[in-house]
Amino acid sequence: MHPVVRLQRDAGNAAVAGLLAPSRSVRLQRVRVDLPSGGGVGDAPATNHREGVLLVLDRMHVLWGIENADYDAIYPAVVALGPGTAVTDPAHLALLRRALSRTLEPVLPREVAAAQYGVNLGAAVGAGQPNNAADVLMVQDLLHSRWHLTNDDYVTERAAASGGGPTPETMAGISRLKAATLAGTGRTGWAPLIRADESGPAGPGGTDRLADRTFTYGEFLVFVPAGAAASLTNHVHVFFSAAGVIGGSSHVEHHGLRGAADAGSQILIGVRGEEGRAFTISLQQIVDALASTGRPATVSAITMSAHSRGNAGLAATLRRRLIPASLIHHITILDANDQAPTILAGIRASGVPLSNVTADIVTTGQFGTFPAGIRTRSMDPAAIRAIGYARLINDAQALSRVSPFPPAIAALAAALPLPARGSFTTANPAPSGKVNINAFTRDPTHAAALRALRTGERRVSDVGALAGSEERSAYAFIEWNDLLNLRNPNDPRSTWRSVSPGIYSHHLFVAEVAGETLA
Protein backbone atom coordinates (compact mmCIF):
# COMPACT_ATOMS: atom_id res chain seq x y z
CA MET A 1 0.00 0.00 0.00
CA HIS A 2 1.32 3.46 -0.86
CA PRO A 3 0.20 5.92 1.89
CA VAL A 4 0.07 9.28 0.14
CA VAL A 5 -2.43 10.76 2.54
CA ARG A 6 -0.78 11.95 5.71
CA LEU A 7 -3.01 12.83 8.62
CA GLN A 8 -0.72 14.43 11.19
CA ARG A 9 -2.50 14.02 14.49
CA ASP A 10 -1.18 15.12 17.82
CA ALA A 11 -2.88 12.26 19.64
CA GLY A 12 -2.26 9.55 17.05
CA ASN A 13 -4.55 6.73 16.00
CA ALA A 14 -5.00 5.51 19.56
CA ALA A 15 -7.27 8.49 20.12
CA VAL A 16 -10.03 6.83 18.14
CA ALA A 17 -10.73 4.38 20.96
CA GLY A 18 -14.20 4.98 22.37
CA LEU A 19 -15.37 6.96 19.35
CA LEU A 20 -18.76 5.34 19.57
CA ALA A 21 -19.70 7.89 22.22
CA PRO A 22 -21.74 10.61 20.45
CA SER A 23 -19.84 13.43 22.11
CA ARG A 24 -16.45 12.37 20.73
CA SER A 25 -14.95 13.22 17.35
CA VAL A 26 -11.54 13.10 15.72
CA ARG A 27 -9.71 16.39 16.13
CA LEU A 28 -7.21 16.81 13.32
CA GLN A 29 -4.52 19.24 14.41
CA ARG A 30 -2.87 19.22 10.99
CA VAL A 31 -4.46 17.77 7.88
CA ARG A 32 -3.17 17.45 4.34
CA VAL A 33 -4.13 15.36 1.33
CA ASP A 34 -1.14 14.56 -0.88
CA LEU A 35 -2.18 13.77 -4.45
CA PRO A 36 -0.34 10.96 -6.24
CA SER A 37 -0.19 13.14 -9.37
CA GLY A 38 1.74 15.80 -7.43
CA GLY A 39 1.07 18.57 -4.95
CA GLY A 40 -1.46 18.53 -2.16
CA VAL A 41 -4.34 20.27 -0.45
CA GLY A 42 -4.58 21.41 3.16
CA ASP A 43 -2.02 22.47 5.73
CA ALA A 44 1.56 23.41 4.84
CA PRO A 45 3.51 22.35 2.91
CA ALA A 46 0.51 21.60 0.68
CA THR A 47 0.65 23.40 -2.67
CA ASN A 48 -3.10 24.14 -2.71
CA HIS A 49 -2.85 24.70 -6.44
CA ARG A 50 -6.02 25.42 -8.39
CA GLU A 51 -6.50 22.03 -10.11
CA GLY A 52 -5.66 20.00 -7.02
CA VAL A 53 -8.08 22.01 -4.91
CA LEU A 54 -10.86 21.61 -7.49
CA LEU A 55 -10.31 17.85 -7.57
CA VAL A 56 -10.41 17.55 -3.79
CA LEU A 57 -13.46 19.83 -3.54
CA ASP A 58 -15.37 17.55 -5.88
CA ARG A 59 -14.36 14.48 -3.89
CA MET A 60 -15.27 16.09 -0.57
CA HIS A 61 -18.64 17.02 -2.02
CA VAL A 62 -19.56 13.44 -2.93
CA LEU A 63 -18.31 12.27 0.48
CA TRP A 64 -20.63 14.78 2.19
CA GLY A 65 -17.67 16.55 3.73
CA ILE A 66 -18.58 20.03 2.53
CA GLU A 67 -21.94 21.79 2.65
CA ASN A 68 -23.56 22.65 -0.67
CA ALA A 69 -23.51 26.36 0.18
CA ASP A 70 -19.78 26.31 0.97
CA TYR A 71 -19.04 24.29 -2.17
CA ASP A 72 -21.06 26.71 -4.31
CA ALA A 73 -19.20 29.64 -2.78
CA ILE A 74 -15.62 28.44 -3.08
CA TYR A 75 -15.69 26.45 -6.30
CA PRO A 76 -16.24 29.35 -8.74
CA ALA A 77 -13.62 31.42 -6.94
CA VAL A 78 -11.02 28.67 -7.40
CA VAL A 79 -12.03 28.06 -11.03
CA ALA A 80 -11.39 31.76 -11.70
CA LEU A 81 -7.72 31.44 -10.72
CA GLY A 82 -5.05 30.99 -13.36
CA PRO A 83 -3.75 27.50 -14.18
CA GLY A 84 -1.55 26.18 -11.40
CA THR A 85 -2.16 29.24 -9.19
CA ALA A 86 -2.23 28.57 -5.46
CA VAL A 87 -5.31 29.29 -3.37
CA THR A 88 -4.15 31.89 -0.84
CA ASP A 89 -7.33 33.61 0.33
CA PRO A 90 -7.42 33.04 4.12
CA ALA A 91 -11.19 32.52 4.16
CA HIS A 92 -10.98 29.93 1.41
CA LEU A 93 -8.11 28.11 3.11
CA ALA A 94 -10.03 28.05 6.38
CA LEU A 95 -13.09 26.65 4.61
CA LEU A 96 -10.94 23.98 2.94
CA ARG A 97 -9.46 22.98 6.27
CA ARG A 98 -12.85 22.69 7.93
CA ALA A 99 -14.18 20.61 5.06
CA LEU A 100 -11.14 18.32 5.09
CA SER A 101 -11.48 17.76 8.82
CA ARG A 102 -15.17 17.01 8.48
CA THR A 103 -14.64 14.69 5.53
CA LEU A 104 -12.03 12.67 7.39
CA GLU A 105 -14.12 12.11 10.49
CA PRO A 106 -14.86 8.41 11.09
CA VAL A 107 -18.43 8.57 9.84
CA LEU A 108 -19.83 6.78 6.79
CA PRO A 109 -23.34 7.97 5.87
CA ARG A 110 -25.64 5.37 4.37
CA GLU A 111 -26.01 7.34 1.14
CA VAL A 112 -22.26 7.79 0.70
CA ALA A 113 -21.62 4.11 1.35
CA ALA A 114 -24.04 3.18 -1.45
CA ALA A 115 -23.03 5.81 -4.01
CA GLN A 116 -19.24 5.69 -3.55
CA TYR A 117 -18.53 2.16 -2.36
CA GLY A 118 -21.48 0.06 -3.47
CA VAL A 119 -22.38 -0.95 0.09
CA ASN A 120 -26.06 -0.78 1.05
CA LEU A 121 -26.29 0.04 4.75
CA GLY A 122 -29.42 0.27 6.80
CA ALA A 123 -28.05 3.30 8.65
CA ALA A 124 -24.82 5.27 9.05
CA VAL A 125 -21.75 3.72 10.65
CA GLY A 126 -19.15 5.61 12.65
CA ALA A 127 -18.67 7.93 15.58
CA GLY A 128 -22.04 8.79 17.13
CA GLN A 129 -23.99 6.77 14.54
CA PRO A 130 -26.50 3.90 15.04
CA ASN A 131 -23.80 1.30 14.26
CA ASN A 132 -26.17 -1.57 13.75
CA ALA A 133 -24.21 -4.81 13.93
CA ALA A 134 -25.13 -5.90 10.41
CA ASP A 135 -24.04 -2.53 9.01
CA VAL A 136 -20.75 -2.51 10.92
CA LEU A 137 -19.96 -5.99 9.59
CA MET A 138 -20.54 -4.80 6.00
CA VAL A 139 -18.28 -1.79 6.56
CA GLN A 140 -15.60 -4.06 8.00
CA ASP A 141 -15.78 -6.22 4.88
CA LEU A 142 -15.31 -3.08 2.77
CA LEU A 143 -12.40 -1.81 4.85
CA HIS A 144 -10.71 -5.20 4.85
CA SER A 145 -11.01 -5.55 1.07
CA ARG A 146 -9.50 -2.07 0.62
CA TRP A 147 -6.62 -2.78 3.05
CA HIS A 148 -7.83 -0.30 5.66
CA LEU A 149 -8.38 -3.02 8.27
CA THR A 150 -5.68 -5.61 8.97
CA ASN A 151 -6.42 -9.33 9.04
CA ASP A 152 -6.00 -9.45 12.82
CA ASP A 153 -8.18 -6.40 13.45
CA TYR A 154 -10.77 -7.72 11.03
CA VAL A 155 -11.13 -10.96 12.99
CA THR A 156 -11.05 -9.26 16.39
CA GLU A 157 -13.46 -6.45 15.59
CA ARG A 158 -15.97 -8.57 13.70
CA ALA A 159 -16.44 -10.51 16.90
CA ALA A 160 -16.70 -7.26 18.85
CA ALA A 161 -19.25 -5.80 16.42
CA SER A 162 -21.42 -8.89 16.61
CA GLY A 163 -21.51 -8.53 20.40
CA GLY A 164 -21.98 -4.77 20.47
CA GLY A 165 -18.42 -4.09 21.66
CA PRO A 166 -16.04 -1.26 20.68
CA THR A 167 -14.41 -1.30 17.24
CA PRO A 168 -11.72 1.40 17.33
CA GLU A 169 -9.76 0.17 14.31
CA THR A 170 -12.95 -0.01 12.26
CA MET A 171 -13.60 3.63 13.13
CA ALA A 172 -10.04 4.58 12.20
CA GLY A 173 -10.39 2.54 9.02
CA ILE A 174 -13.38 4.63 7.93
CA SER A 175 -11.17 7.73 8.11
CA ARG A 176 -8.45 5.95 6.17
CA LEU A 177 -10.97 4.85 3.53
CA LYS A 178 -12.20 8.38 2.97
CA ALA A 179 -8.67 9.76 3.00
CA ALA A 180 -7.74 7.35 0.21
CA THR A 181 -10.84 8.42 -1.73
CA LEU A 182 -9.85 12.07 -1.36
CA ALA A 183 -6.35 11.38 -2.63
CA GLY A 184 -7.41 8.89 -5.27
CA THR A 185 -5.20 6.07 -3.99
CA GLY A 186 -5.81 2.35 -3.81
CA ARG A 187 -6.59 2.17 -7.52
CA THR A 188 -6.97 -1.22 -9.15
CA GLY A 189 -3.78 -1.98 -11.03
CA TRP A 190 -3.21 -3.54 -14.42
CA ALA A 191 -3.09 -7.33 -14.49
CA PRO A 192 -1.52 -9.55 -15.40
CA LEU A 193 1.57 -7.41 -15.66
CA ILE A 194 3.99 -8.09 -18.50
CA ARG A 195 6.97 -6.03 -17.37
CA ALA A 196 8.59 -6.92 -14.05
CA ASP A 197 9.90 -3.40 -13.47
CA GLU A 198 6.28 -2.23 -13.11
CA SER A 199 5.58 -4.68 -10.29
CA GLY A 200 5.85 -4.10 -6.54
CA PRO A 201 4.56 -5.40 -3.20
CA ALA A 202 0.91 -6.41 -3.11
CA GLY A 203 -1.53 -3.67 -2.14
CA PRO A 204 -5.22 -2.86 -2.47
CA GLY A 205 -4.87 -2.54 -6.23
CA GLY A 206 -2.77 -5.68 -6.74
CA THR A 207 0.95 -5.79 -7.51
CA ASP A 208 1.00 -2.91 -10.01
CA ARG A 209 3.31 -0.42 -8.25
CA LEU A 210 2.30 2.32 -10.69
CA ALA A 211 -1.47 2.01 -10.26
CA ASP A 212 -1.99 5.15 -8.16
CA ARG A 213 -0.26 7.32 -10.75
CA THR A 214 -2.07 5.76 -13.73
CA PHE A 215 -5.15 7.67 -14.88
CA THR A 216 -7.61 7.66 -17.74
CA TYR A 217 -9.19 10.67 -19.37
CA GLY A 218 -11.76 9.48 -21.87
CA GLU A 219 -9.83 7.17 -24.19
CA PHE A 220 -6.47 8.69 -23.25
CA LEU A 221 -3.99 7.25 -20.78
CA VAL A 222 -2.21 9.60 -18.37
CA PHE A 223 0.73 8.33 -16.34
CA VAL A 224 2.58 10.62 -13.93
CA PRO A 225 6.10 9.40 -13.08
CA ALA A 226 7.49 9.96 -9.61
CA GLY A 227 9.88 12.59 -10.94
CA ALA A 228 7.01 14.62 -12.36
CA ALA A 229 4.92 14.27 -9.21
CA ALA A 230 7.72 15.97 -7.29
CA SER A 231 6.97 19.25 -9.07
CA LEU A 232 4.07 21.00 -10.81
CA THR A 233 5.85 21.57 -14.12
CA ASN A 234 4.37 19.57 -16.98
CA HIS A 235 6.80 18.11 -19.48
CA VAL A 236 4.64 15.76 -21.54
CA HIS A 237 5.40 12.82 -23.82
CA VAL A 238 2.57 11.82 -26.16
CA PHE A 239 2.70 8.24 -27.42
CA PHE A 240 0.57 7.29 -30.42
CA SER A 241 -0.05 3.58 -30.05
CA ALA A 242 -0.81 0.99 -32.70
CA ALA A 243 -3.71 -0.24 -30.53
CA GLY A 244 -5.09 0.26 -27.01
CA VAL A 245 -3.37 2.29 -24.31
CA ILE A 246 -5.29 1.32 -21.16
CA GLY A 247 -4.96 -1.90 -19.16
CA GLY A 248 -2.82 -5.00 -18.99
CA SER A 249 -3.49 -6.01 -22.60
CA SER A 250 -2.68 -2.57 -24.01
CA HIS A 251 0.37 -1.76 -26.09
CA VAL A 252 1.47 0.63 -23.34
CA GLU A 253 1.88 -2.43 -21.12
CA HIS A 254 3.42 -4.49 -23.95
CA HIS A 255 6.14 -1.88 -24.34
CA GLY A 256 6.48 -1.22 -20.59
CA LEU A 257 6.05 2.50 -21.23
CA ARG A 258 4.94 3.32 -17.69
CA GLY A 259 8.02 1.66 -16.23
CA ALA A 260 10.24 3.43 -18.76
CA ALA A 261 8.59 6.79 -18.06
CA ASP A 262 8.92 6.34 -14.31
CA ALA A 263 12.69 6.55 -14.64
CA GLY A 264 12.33 10.15 -15.84
CA SER A 265 10.05 13.14 -15.37
CA GLN A 266 7.98 13.29 -18.56
CA ILE A 267 4.25 12.72 -18.07
CA LEU A 268 3.11 10.00 -20.46
CA ILE A 269 -0.12 10.49 -22.39
CA GLY A 270 -1.20 7.56 -24.54
CA VAL A 271 -3.34 7.89 -27.66
CA ARG A 272 -4.98 4.73 -28.98
CA GLY A 273 -4.59 3.41 -32.51
CA GLU A 274 -6.52 1.18 -34.86
CA GLU A 275 -6.08 -0.19 -38.35
CA GLY A 276 -7.34 2.30 -40.91
CA ARG A 277 -8.04 5.07 -38.40
CA ALA A 278 -6.11 8.10 -37.17
CA PHE A 279 -6.66 9.11 -33.54
CA THR A 280 -5.47 12.64 -32.79
CA ILE A 281 -4.92 14.73 -29.68
CA SER A 282 -4.98 18.51 -29.29
CA LEU A 283 -3.21 20.78 -26.85
CA GLN A 284 -6.54 21.47 -25.16
CA GLN A 285 -7.13 17.75 -24.69
CA ILE A 286 -3.66 17.39 -23.19
CA VAL A 287 -4.31 20.26 -20.79
CA ASP A 288 -7.71 18.86 -19.81
CA ALA A 289 -6.24 15.40 -19.28
CA LEU A 290 -3.59 16.82 -16.97
CA ALA A 291 -6.14 18.84 -15.00
CA SER A 292 -8.31 15.75 -14.54
CA THR A 293 -5.51 14.21 -12.46
CA GLY A 294 -5.01 17.36 -10.38
CA ARG A 295 -2.03 18.61 -12.40
CA PRO A 296 -1.83 22.31 -13.41
CA ALA A 297 -3.58 22.98 -16.72
CA THR A 298 -0.41 24.12 -18.44
CA VAL A 299 2.26 22.49 -20.61
CA SER A 300 5.92 23.52 -20.70
CA ALA A 301 7.22 21.13 -23.36
CA ILE A 302 6.09 18.16 -25.43
CA THR A 303 7.92 15.25 -27.00
CA MET A 304 6.12 12.71 -29.16
CA SER A 305 6.53 9.18 -30.43
CA ALA A 306 4.43 6.82 -32.51
CA HIS A 307 4.70 3.12 -33.25
CA SER A 308 3.52 1.31 -36.34
CA ARG A 309 -0.02 2.34 -37.34
CA GLY A 310 -0.08 4.80 -34.45
CA ASN A 311 1.90 7.04 -36.79
CA ALA A 312 -1.34 7.79 -38.63
CA GLY A 313 -2.55 9.61 -35.51
CA LEU A 314 0.76 11.41 -35.16
CA ALA A 315 0.67 12.52 -38.80
CA ALA A 316 -2.93 13.76 -38.54
CA THR A 317 -2.22 15.63 -35.30
CA LEU A 318 0.74 17.37 -36.92
CA ARG A 319 -0.99 18.05 -40.23
CA ARG A 320 -3.94 19.69 -38.47
CA ARG A 321 -1.59 21.68 -36.21
CA LEU A 322 -3.46 20.57 -33.11
CA ILE A 323 -0.35 21.23 -31.02
CA PRO A 324 1.82 24.33 -31.54
CA ALA A 325 5.18 23.48 -33.09
CA SER A 326 6.89 25.72 -30.53
CA LEU A 327 5.97 23.22 -27.79
CA ILE A 328 7.15 20.11 -29.68
CA HIS A 329 10.80 19.51 -28.81
CA HIS A 330 11.28 16.10 -30.43
CA ILE A 331 9.45 13.39 -32.40
CA THR A 332 10.46 9.72 -32.54
CA ILE A 333 9.04 7.55 -35.32
CA LEU A 334 9.11 3.88 -34.36
CA ASP A 335 9.32 1.50 -37.34
CA ALA A 336 7.00 3.26 -39.77
CA ASN A 337 8.96 3.76 -42.99
CA ASP A 338 5.96 2.38 -44.85
CA GLN A 339 4.12 5.55 -43.84
CA ALA A 340 6.97 7.94 -44.59
CA PRO A 341 5.14 10.19 -47.12
CA THR A 342 2.15 10.74 -44.82
CA ILE A 343 4.30 11.33 -41.75
CA LEU A 344 6.60 13.69 -43.63
CA ALA A 345 3.64 15.72 -44.92
CA GLY A 346 2.38 16.09 -41.36
CA ILE A 347 5.77 17.18 -40.04
CA ARG A 348 6.18 19.78 -42.77
CA ALA A 349 2.66 21.12 -42.25
CA SER A 350 3.26 21.45 -38.50
CA GLY A 351 6.43 23.51 -38.81
CA VAL A 352 8.49 21.15 -36.65
CA PRO A 353 12.08 21.14 -38.01
CA LEU A 354 13.23 17.83 -39.51
CA SER A 355 16.27 18.04 -37.27
CA ASN A 356 13.94 17.45 -34.31
CA VAL A 357 12.79 14.09 -35.69
CA THR A 358 14.32 10.63 -35.27
CA ALA A 359 13.23 7.42 -36.98
CA ASP A 360 14.01 4.00 -35.49
CA ILE A 361 13.86 1.31 -38.17
CA VAL A 362 13.56 -2.45 -37.59
CA THR A 363 11.38 -4.17 -40.19
CA THR A 364 9.93 -1.38 -42.36
CA GLY A 365 13.10 -0.04 -44.00
CA GLN A 366 12.34 -1.84 -47.26
CA PHE A 367 9.03 -0.01 -47.62
CA GLY A 368 10.14 3.62 -47.69
CA THR A 369 12.70 6.18 -46.63
CA PHE A 370 12.86 9.49 -44.82
CA PRO A 371 14.83 12.50 -46.11
CA ALA A 372 18.33 13.23 -44.92
CA GLY A 373 17.16 15.86 -42.45
CA ILE A 374 15.63 13.15 -40.24
CA ARG A 375 18.11 11.10 -38.23
CA THR A 376 17.53 7.39 -38.87
CA ARG A 377 18.69 4.52 -36.67
CA SER A 378 18.46 0.92 -37.90
CA MET A 379 18.42 -2.25 -35.81
CA ASP A 380 18.83 -5.90 -36.81
CA PRO A 381 15.31 -7.40 -36.68
CA ALA A 382 16.41 -10.96 -35.86
CA ALA A 383 18.71 -9.86 -33.05
CA ILE A 384 16.22 -7.40 -31.57
CA ARG A 385 13.57 -10.11 -31.62
CA ALA A 386 15.83 -12.46 -29.66
CA ILE A 387 16.48 -9.72 -27.11
CA GLY A 388 12.73 -9.21 -26.82
CA TYR A 389 12.19 -12.93 -26.27
CA ALA A 390 14.78 -13.02 -23.50
CA ARG A 391 13.26 -9.97 -21.83
CA LEU A 392 9.75 -11.45 -21.88
CA ILE A 393 11.03 -14.73 -20.46
CA ASN A 394 12.94 -12.98 -17.68
CA ASP A 395 9.92 -10.84 -16.84
CA ALA A 396 7.60 -13.86 -16.80
CA GLN A 397 9.95 -15.66 -14.44
CA ALA A 398 10.23 -12.65 -12.12
CA LEU A 399 6.45 -12.23 -12.09
CA SER A 400 5.81 -15.98 -11.55
CA ARG A 401 3.51 -16.03 -14.55
CA VAL A 402 4.32 -19.62 -15.48
CA SER A 403 4.61 -22.52 -13.05
CA PRO A 404 6.46 -24.78 -13.24
CA PHE A 405 8.92 -22.79 -15.32
CA PRO A 406 10.64 -24.95 -17.99
CA PRO A 407 14.36 -25.16 -17.17
CA ALA A 408 15.33 -25.14 -20.84
CA ILE A 409 13.49 -21.87 -21.43
CA ALA A 410 15.05 -20.25 -18.36
CA ALA A 411 18.48 -21.36 -19.60
CA LEU A 412 17.93 -19.80 -23.03
CA ALA A 413 17.27 -16.39 -21.47
CA ALA A 414 19.99 -16.70 -18.84
CA ALA A 415 22.61 -17.29 -21.54
CA LEU A 416 22.12 -13.73 -22.83
CA PRO A 417 23.56 -11.14 -20.40
CA LEU A 418 20.83 -8.53 -20.82
CA PRO A 419 21.35 -5.17 -19.11
CA ALA A 420 18.44 -3.78 -17.11
CA ARG A 421 15.59 -2.48 -19.22
CA GLY A 422 16.18 1.19 -19.97
CA SER A 423 19.92 0.66 -20.39
CA PHE A 424 19.95 0.26 -24.16
CA THR A 425 20.58 3.25 -26.40
CA THR A 426 20.88 3.79 -30.13
CA ALA A 427 23.46 6.53 -29.53
CA ASN A 428 27.01 5.81 -30.68
CA PRO A 429 29.13 6.15 -28.69
CA ALA A 430 26.82 5.20 -25.84
CA PRO A 431 26.58 7.67 -22.94
CA SER A 432 27.98 6.63 -19.61
CA GLY A 433 25.88 3.89 -18.01
CA LYS A 434 24.20 2.96 -21.31
CA VAL A 435 24.75 0.12 -23.78
CA ASN A 436 24.57 0.65 -27.54
CA ILE A 437 21.99 -1.87 -28.72
CA ASN A 438 23.64 -2.51 -32.08
CA ALA A 439 27.03 -3.05 -30.47
CA PHE A 440 25.38 -5.53 -28.12
CA THR A 441 23.76 -7.50 -30.94
CA ARG A 442 27.00 -7.54 -32.97
CA ASP A 443 29.13 -8.70 -30.06
CA PRO A 444 30.38 -12.16 -31.13
CA THR A 445 30.12 -13.42 -27.55
CA HIS A 446 26.34 -12.94 -27.76
CA ALA A 447 25.84 -14.58 -31.16
CA ALA A 448 25.19 -18.12 -29.93
CA ALA A 449 22.68 -17.02 -27.29
CA LEU A 450 20.81 -14.78 -29.74
CA ARG A 451 20.68 -17.59 -32.28
CA ALA A 452 19.48 -20.14 -29.71
CA LEU A 453 16.67 -17.83 -28.62
CA ARG A 454 15.30 -17.94 -32.18
CA THR A 455 15.44 -21.74 -32.46
CA GLY A 456 12.06 -23.33 -33.10
CA GLU A 457 10.41 -20.30 -34.71
CA ARG A 458 7.84 -21.29 -37.29
CA ARG A 459 4.74 -19.90 -38.94
CA VAL A 460 1.60 -21.63 -37.74
CA SER A 461 -2.08 -20.80 -38.12
CA ASP A 462 -2.85 -21.02 -34.42
CA VAL A 463 -0.96 -21.35 -31.14
CA GLY A 464 -2.32 -24.85 -30.53
CA ALA A 465 -0.11 -26.05 -33.40
CA LEU A 466 2.95 -25.27 -31.27
CA ALA A 467 2.13 -28.04 -28.76
CA GLY A 468 5.19 -30.04 -27.84
CA SER A 469 7.71 -27.25 -28.44
CA GLU A 470 6.57 -24.81 -25.72
CA GLU A 471 9.21 -26.08 -23.28
CA ARG A 472 12.11 -25.94 -25.78
CA SER A 473 11.53 -22.94 -28.05
CA ALA A 474 11.46 -19.38 -26.70
CA TYR A 475 9.04 -18.38 -29.46
CA ALA A 476 6.67 -21.26 -28.71
CA PHE A 477 6.90 -20.64 -24.95
CA ILE A 478 5.93 -16.97 -25.35
CA GLU A 479 3.06 -17.84 -27.67
CA TRP A 480 1.85 -20.82 -25.61
CA ASN A 481 1.73 -18.78 -22.40
CA ASP A 482 0.46 -15.59 -24.09
CA LEU A 483 3.08 -13.43 -22.41
CA LEU A 484 1.81 -10.31 -24.22
CA ASN A 485 -1.79 -10.78 -22.98
CA LEU A 486 -3.14 -10.88 -26.52
CA ARG A 487 -5.85 -13.53 -26.13
CA ASN A 488 -8.70 -14.66 -23.93
CA PRO A 489 -7.15 -17.20 -21.53
CA ASN A 490 -10.48 -19.04 -21.35
CA ASP A 491 -10.44 -19.85 -25.06
CA PRO A 492 -8.64 -22.96 -26.34
CA ARG A 493 -5.22 -22.38 -27.84
CA SER A 494 -6.47 -23.74 -31.13
CA THR A 495 -8.47 -20.51 -31.44
CA TRP A 496 -5.53 -18.25 -30.58
CA ARG A 497 -4.19 -16.57 -33.68
CA SER A 498 -0.41 -16.83 -33.78
CA VAL A 499 1.99 -13.89 -34.02
CA SER A 500 4.75 -14.23 -36.61
CA PRO A 501 8.41 -13.83 -35.67
CA GLY A 502 8.60 -10.77 -37.93
CA ILE A 503 5.80 -9.05 -36.03
CA TYR A 504 7.64 -9.78 -32.78
CA SER A 505 10.68 -7.95 -34.23
CA HIS A 506 8.46 -5.01 -35.15
CA HIS A 507 6.84 -4.98 -31.71
CA LEU A 508 9.34 -6.02 -29.04
CA PHE A 509 12.06 -3.51 -29.87
CA VAL A 510 9.93 -0.67 -28.49
CA ALA A 511 10.30 -1.93 -24.91
CA GLU A 512 14.08 -1.88 -25.32
CA VAL A 513 14.35 1.69 -26.63
CA ALA A 514 11.51 3.09 -24.51
CA GLY A 515 13.90 4.40 -21.89
CA GLU A 516 15.70 6.47 -24.52
CA THR A 517 12.47 7.56 -26.22
CA LEU A 518 10.97 8.80 -22.95
CA ALA A 519 14.16 10.30 -21.51
Judge whether residue 260 has pLDDT over 80: yes
State the DSSP code for 497. Answer: B
Strand partners, 332: 305, 358
Judge whether residue 9 has pLDDT over 50: no
pLDDT at 59: 98
pLDDT at 359: 97
pLDDT in tens, 51-82: 999 999 999 999 999 999 999 999 999 999 99
Strand partners, 486: none
Residue 447's H or E segment, with its range, is: helix 447-453
The answer to whether the beta carbons of residues 333 and 309 sit under 8 Å apart is no
When the pLDDT of each residue in the chain is averaged and rounded to a whole number, the result is: 94
Amino acid at 397: Q
Among 12-16, 323-327, 413-417, which stretch is predicted with the lowest mean pLDDT?
12-16
Distances (CA, A) of 461 to 316, 466, 467, 474: 35, 10, 13, 18
pLDDT at 476: 98
pLDDT at 368: 84
Q: Comparing 1 with 351, which gets the higher pLDDT?
A: 351
Return the number of other C-beta atoms located less than 10 Å from residue 44's C-beta.
Answer: 9
| Nearest CA among 173, 162, 254, 263 for reference residue 210 | 263
Query: How many alpha carbons fall within 13 Å on the CB side of residue 476?
Result: 19
Judge whether residue 31 has pLDDT over 80: yes
Residue 99's H or E segment, with its range, is: helix 90-103
pLDDT in tens, 471-498: 999 999 999 999 999 999 999 999 999 9
Average of per-residue pLDDT across 314-328: 98
How far is the C-alpha of 440 from the C-alpha of 418, rounded, in Å? 9
Query: How many alpha carbons fall within 13 Å on the CB side of residue 311?
Result: 23
Judge whether residue 421 has pLDDT over 80: yes
Res. 366 pLDDT band, cuts 50 70 90: confident
Length of the chain: 519
Res. 250 pLDDT band, cuts 50 70 90: very high
How far is the C-alpha of 293 from the C-alpha of 287, rounded, in Å? 10
SS (H, E, C) 484-505: CCCCCCCCCHHHCECCCHHHHH
Return the number of other C-beta atoms located less than 10 Å from residue 130's C-beta.
Answer: 13
| Terminal Cα-to-Cα distance of the chain (whole angstroms) | 28
Distances (CA, A) of 346 to 155, 240, 278, 352: 62, 14, 12, 9
pLDDT at 365: 86
pTM listed for this prediction: 0.93
Judge whether residue 403 has pLDDT over 90: yes
Judge whether residue 5 has pLDDT over 70: no
Return the number of other C-beta atoms located less than 10 Å from residue 365's C-beta.
Answer: 16
Share of residues in the chain with pLDDT > 90 (%) = 93
Judge whether residue 29 has pLDDT over 70: no
3-class state of residue 180 by DSSP: helix
3-class state of residue 215 by DSSP: strand
pLDDT at 251: 98
Judge whether residue 304 has pLDDT over 60: yes
Judge whether residue 13 has pLDDT over 90: no
| Nearest CA among 250, 268, 249, 248 for reference residue 258 | 268
Q: What per-residue string of b and e applies to 213-231 under the rule 16 or more CB within 10 Å gives b?
A: bbbebeebbbbbbebbbee
State the DSSP code for 418. Answer: P
| Nearest CA among 433, 364, 421 for reference residue 199 | 421
